[in-house]
Amino acid sequence: MDRNLALEAVRVTEAAALSSARLMGLGDEKQADQAAVDAMRKAFNGVKIKGTVVIGEGERDEAPMLYIGEKVGSGDLPEVDIALDPLEGTTICATGGANALSVIAIGKKDSFLHAPDTYMEKIAVGPKAKGVINLNKSPSDNLKVIADAYNCYVQDLTVVILDRPRHENLIKEVRKSGARIKLIMDGDVSAGMATAIPDSGVDVLMGIGGAPEGVLAAAALQCVGGDIQGRLKPRNDQEAERARSMGVKNLDKVFTIEELAKGDDIMFAATGVTNGDLLKGVRFFRGGADTHSIVMRSKSRTVRFIEAKHHFDFKPDYNA
């Protein structure tokens, strides 16, 4: 692919972010998510690609738009696979929390693991620790080798973990190791990305989150030379069977970053919906809004931060 499609996809994530940000803090997760989906699907019509959604809003009978297998774009070449989340962090947006994003990853056909909508155990790090992590080892052992790779003490590391009851033992072990912890309510795509961005304040992502989000984080980390491993954690027999039907025969398999998001030309775009460690959220002003996005490409390892000012059709009411 000669074009950096992420520079075109960022207009799509901007549209979804602008639409869902209108509903920030209003307490309605479904409405915020639907606003993002509607805006993203409409914006895709202006992108000159022949795209297939492989990570999306779910099955066709569950999601009327951006479902797995849906064709998006104008229908022109190149033919690409797309992993997306119109609003990563629906609860975050609904409550006005931090790190809600609109996200798209683009790659050649079969670039992304067809991950079922279930849980995934993950560990993610930045480029300096690439190749040293091992999901089969304990959190303490991983933190030791990560600290060695960063040429620092374990106590200097900051580990981001979703604040969930299932992570009680993980949190205890990380605290015992001496590493610092940042607990987050949602948004582990943003957290995974942040491990590879200098000055983000995050060094390691650990714990169990969504499998589709693991694929999106892997796509982002491929663009900057980071690393991630993941292992599916189905919650019930139905999810386990769903994983097998999508081609995952060994549910204990540890997926490497190359298996989650493979290829030498992965492109990634994300726009902040609410303020976070990596991106600022949408800021509205009279007649428009500011957005803050990141655009990355694995082929060139280019990382762009884009601040955009959007002006809406607006007729002033001088009596207001």
**Full domain range(s) for residue 86:** 6-110+266-311
Please report the pLDDT score of residue 283 as a whole number.
98
Q: What is the pLDDT of residue 314?
A: 60
In a domain, 300, yes or no: yes
169/223 same-domain check: yes
pLDDT(313) > 50: yes
Residue 199: pLDDT over 90? no
* pLDDT 10s digits, 173-184: 999 999 999 999
- Would you state the pLDDT for residue 318? 45
Residue 275 placed within a domain: yes
Same domain, 131 and 256: yes
Q: Under DSSP, is residue 114 helix (H, G, I), strand (E, B) or coil?
A: coil
Pair 169, 92 in one domain: no
Please tell me the predicted confidence (pLDDT) of residue 316: 53
Which of 239, 260, 281 is the C-terminal boundary of a domain?
260
Higher pLDDT, 169 or 60: 169
Residue 33 shares a structural domain with residue 78? yes
Cα dist. 1→23, 70, 149, 298 in Å?
A: 36, 21, 34, 12
pLDDT of residue 60 exceeding 80, the answer is no
**CA dihedral of residues 269, 123, 108, 307 (deg, nearest 10):** 10
Both structure tokens of 208: 């169990």
Tell me the sheet residues that pair with 84.
104
User: Tell me, what's the pLDDT at 268?
Assistant: 97
Question: Is the confidence at residue 65, as pLDDT, over 90?
Answer: yes
The pTM of this model reads 0.93
* Domains held by the chain: number: 2
Has residue 65 been placed in a domain? yes
